[in-house]
Amino acid sequence: MKRSRILGLVGIVWLLASLGVIAYATRLGLILAPVDALQGNIFRIIYYHVPTSMLSLLFPYVNLVASLFYLYWRQRDPLKALTADAVAISSAEVTVVYATICLWTGMLWGRVAWGIWWTWDARLTSMLLLWLLYVSYLMLRRLSSTGQTHTLAAVLSVFAGIDVPIVYMSIRWWRTQHPAPVFGGGGDSGLDPSMRPAFWFNVLGWAMWGIFLLVFRYMLERRRQESEQDAALQAIEASLEIAQ
């Protein structure tokens, strides 16, 4: 069996498994998990909001590591640098998707729980900054036409990566309107045991889906690079023929 066919089969199985886990986790979150005593049913947004927020702080690290490898390899081994660059743009796009969902579901929850859509507290502002940094990373890659675009984007990625621990620690360092951390937030933090299956199955499902998106987008970028290389080779061949 050809390698590409095996990879395709693994991809389809992974996709179906992730959709199955998400469907089960959604049922747990919407129907089977108990109503929150203080917040009522609006608490159920948390089963999507928190897992996607956690993942929106993990994918930037994939982008950061790939960008550092790109910067290291760009002079030494350009072919490896292209691979790192494909990982970097894939993870940046997935980060934007997850961060968008984090901000949007947070606003929907805040309007009901707080009575306002938005407040400029440290957690929300640093998260918005993270989203803006990765949107600007993608815009730079799309719109810049200099030969240094990939290098500039990799450097921007390093700066964006610095914001991630600030977002994570913001509710620990500063007093914010955003709720205190559910996990690792001290003695009285934590989730009721009856709510844990809904929460952790959503973490698992959205992580599997995110990995699927990341790999699929990476393969698309590799295919684009191959297409661009073919086009460049043909142009060189054509110019040589004209010269003769």
Partner 1 sequence: MKLSWIFGPSMEAHHLLYAYVTVWLIQGGYAAWIALQWARTGKELQSDPADSSQFDEDS
Residue identified by tokens 């205190």 is 180
Instruction: Tell me: does residue 236 bind partner 1 (CB under 8 A).
Output: no
214: helix, strand or coil: helix
Residues 6+ apart with CB under 8 A from 119: 110, 177
DSSP assigned state of 185: S
Minimum distance from residue 26 beta carbon to partner 1 (Å) = 7
CB closer to partner 1, 32 vs 155: 32
Residues 66-125 that bind partner 1 (CB under 8 A): 93, 97, 100-101, 104-105, 108-109, 111-112
CB closer to partner 1, 101 vs 124: 101
Minimum distance from residue 6 beta carbon to partner 1 (Å) = 18
H helices of the chain, where? 3-27, 46-56, 59-76, 78-113, 122-143, 149-173, 196-243
Instruction: Tell me: does residue 56 bind partner 1 (CB under 8 A).
Output: no
Q: Which DSSP helix (H) or strand (E) runs through 114?
A: none
Burial of 44 from C-beta contacts in 10 A (0-12 / 13-18 / 19+) = buried
Instruction: Tell me: does residue 9 bind partner 1 (CB under 8 A).
Output: no
Which residues bind to partner 1, rule: CB under 8 A?
Answer: 26, 30-32, 35, 40-42, 44-45, 48-49, 52, 93, 97, 100-101, 104-105, 108-109, 111-112, 209, 213, 216-217, 219-220, 223-224, 226-227, 230-231, 234, 237-238, 241-242
